[in-house]
């Protein structure tokens, strides 16, 4: 096994980023199969920030424990209080994270939670839509399906429900998309030899750090483009809110539909908890700030500011010469991974998850599951089959 954490990404994460870490693993294909373990953070513009990665023979409790022990040393995690780990419920990962970081906040990726939701027998487009808003619509979900409500009630809401998230991380992410994006960026090298895989990942991170530093110079505001687009959207939504000044910094805000919240501009808090969790003013806070004609960007948390972005990407991943030009050391050579010849033709497509469209010979076609659709034959007008079955029976 081999573990790599570049000094540039380690320093950038410690100095500037939110204490949010996504953990994931992907398959290494080819003649040296294994697993690529990765730890990925979120930058001030809500982009992907690779922290560390490792190559292991298999994905289990032992390899994840080994990976997390090294990660804790690099990031200086001693108490683990204040850290948020987002996982996809891989083999041995949940137990390893729980044993290594007992005081952490653990979140499950909603995508994989929905996949388990389908495997448990809760199918239907209506149920899929309600699970995403279950934090606010549990009563409606109970009226729709009592069995589905009982299945969700057995889960810890602090692991998947925004209403139960802690506020210190300033992050409301429900999906482990940063790890998925990192795995997708190295998709074309995962069937190469191990040394080439590691070199391509280092090269990808080196260019990522350099490109982000260049892009930051073109920012028109003190926050990133993604965060600014979110602010503009919230600004439009605040037009339906009516603020009333109660104290010098406290407002009672009434919204269209009968919702009523309390906004505290001094403490940067709102009773809807969106501002508290994300660090970005909600639409109610925008309405209150509109009366003061204040600078809305100044109320955004420092995690999203240009200064934090500069600290995260200022460290440089130094370029490297080819292997024949490097200085020789007296360290023992690394042992090569076990050779294993794969049987059959190599697979080019990955196995789709339960909640994804079924694969098709036409890459542009998307076959979504048909929920609660009753099939009826157009020839005999009988339910339960289509005309293809009728034609096959007649031919026989």
Convert the pLDDT of each residue in 63-110 to its tens digit: 999 999 999 999 988 877 778 888 876 778 888 888 888 887 877 776
Specify the pLDDT at position 135: 44
Q: Are residues 193 and 231 in the same domain?
A: no
Domain annotation covers residue 288: yes
Q: Check whether residue 22 and residue 78 sit in a common domain.
A: yes
User: Is residue 324 predicted with pLDDT exceeding 90?
Assistant: no
Tell me what pLDDT residue 393 has: 55
Q: Is residue 376 part of a domain?
A: no
- The set of residues, in sequence order, having a beta carbon less than 8 Å from that of 213 and lying 6+ positions away, is 310, 313, 314
> Does residue 286 sit within a domain?
yes
Q: For all residues of the chain together, what is the average pLDDT?
A: 80
pLDDT over threshold 50, residue 361 = no
Q: Are residues 122 and 239 in the same domain?
A: no
Q: Residue 384 falls within a domain, yes or no?
A: no
35 lies in some domain: yes
Quote the CA–CA distance of 240 and 350 in Å, as a whole number. 45
Secondary structure (3-state) at 10: helix
Domain with 130, as residue range(s), is: 2-217
Closest C-alpha to 63, from 29, 16, 111, 95:
95
- Tell me how far apart the alpha carbons of residues 345 and 332 are, in angstroms, rounded to a whole number: 36
Cβ–Cβ < 8 Å for 111, 86: no
Tokens read off for 18? 């939110």
Residue 371 lies in a domain: no
- pLDDT level of residue 36 (50, 70, 90 thresholds): very high
Beta strands 269-270 and 260-264 are antiparallel
Chain centroid offset of residue 86 CA: 7
Q: Check whether residue 64 and residue 195 sit in a common domain.
A: yes
Q: Domain boundary at 166, 198, 217, which?
A: 217
Same-domain pairing of 21 and 62: yes
Phi, psi of 252, rounded to the nearest 5 degrees: -105, 120
Q: Looking at the structure, do residues 251 and 132 belong to the same domain, yes or no?
A: no
| Mean pLDDT confidence for 324-332 | 83
End-to-end distance of the chain based on CA atoms, in angstroms? 59
Q: Answer yes or no: are the C-beta atoms of 122 and 148 closer than 8 Å.
A: yes
Lowest mean pLDDT: which of 24-38, 63-77, 126-140? 126-140
pLDDT score, position 349: 64
Give 358's strand partners. Answer: 367
Q: Is residue 304 part of a domain?
A: no
Residue 277 within any structural domain of the chain: yes
CA dist 222 and 115 (Å) reads 39
pLDDT band at 326 (very low <50, low <70, confident <90, very high): confident
CB 249 within 8 A of CB 265: yes
pLDDT, tens digit, for every residue of 194-249? 888 999 999 999 999 999 999 888 888 999 999 999 999 998 988 889 999 888 88
Structure tokens that stand for 296 in this block: 């809305």
């Amino acid at each position: 096994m081999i573990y790599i954490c570049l000094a540039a990404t380690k320093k950038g994460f410690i100095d500037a980023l939110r204490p949010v870490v996504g953990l994931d693993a992907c398959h290494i294909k080819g003649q040296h199969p294994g697993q690529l373990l990765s730890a990925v953070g979120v930058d001030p513009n809500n982009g992907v920030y690779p922290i560390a990665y490792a190559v292991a023979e298999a994905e289990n409790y032992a390899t994840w424990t080994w990976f997390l022990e090294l990660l804790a040393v690099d990031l200086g995690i001693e108490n683990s209080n204040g850290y948020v780990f987002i996982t996809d419920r891989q083999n041995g990962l949940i137990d390893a994270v729980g044993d290594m970081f007992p005081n952490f906040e653990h979140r499950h990726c909603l995508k994989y939670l929905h996949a388990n939701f389908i495997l448990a027998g809760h199918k239907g487009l209506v149920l899929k839509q309600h699970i995403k808003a279950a934090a606010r619509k549990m009563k409606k979900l109970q009226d729709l399906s009592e069995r589905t409500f009982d299945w969700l009630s057995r889960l810890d809401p602090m692991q998947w429900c925004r209403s139960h998230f802690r506020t210190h991380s300033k992050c409301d992410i429900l999906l482990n998309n940063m790890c998925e994006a990192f795995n997708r960026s190295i998709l074309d090298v995962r069937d190469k030899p191990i040394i080439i895989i590691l070199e391509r990942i280092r090269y990808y991170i080196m260019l990522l750090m350099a490109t982000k530093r260049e892009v930051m110079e073109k920012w028109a505001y003190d926050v990133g483009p993604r965060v600014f687009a979110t602010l503009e959207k919230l600004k439009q939504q605040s037009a339906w809110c009516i603020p009333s000044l109660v104290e010098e910094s406290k407002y009672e805000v009434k919204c269209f539909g009968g919702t009523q919240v309390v906004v505290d501009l001094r403490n940067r808090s709102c009773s809807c908890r969106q501002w508290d969790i994300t660090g970005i003013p909600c639409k109610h806070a925008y309405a209150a700030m509109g009366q003061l004609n204040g600078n809305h960007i100044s109320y955004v948390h420092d995690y999203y500011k240009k200064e934090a972005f500069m600290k995260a990407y200022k460290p440089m991943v130094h370029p490297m010469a080819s292997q024949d030009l490097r200085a020789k050391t007296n360290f023992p050579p690394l042992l090569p991974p076990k050779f294993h010849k794969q049987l059959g033709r190599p697979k080019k497509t990955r196995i789709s998850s339960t909640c994804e469209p079924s694969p098709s010979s036409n890459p542009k076609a998307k076959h979504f599951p048909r929920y609660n659709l009753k099939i009826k034959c157009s020839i005999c007008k009988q339910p339960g089959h289509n005309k293809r079955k009728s034609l096959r029976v007649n031919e026989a």
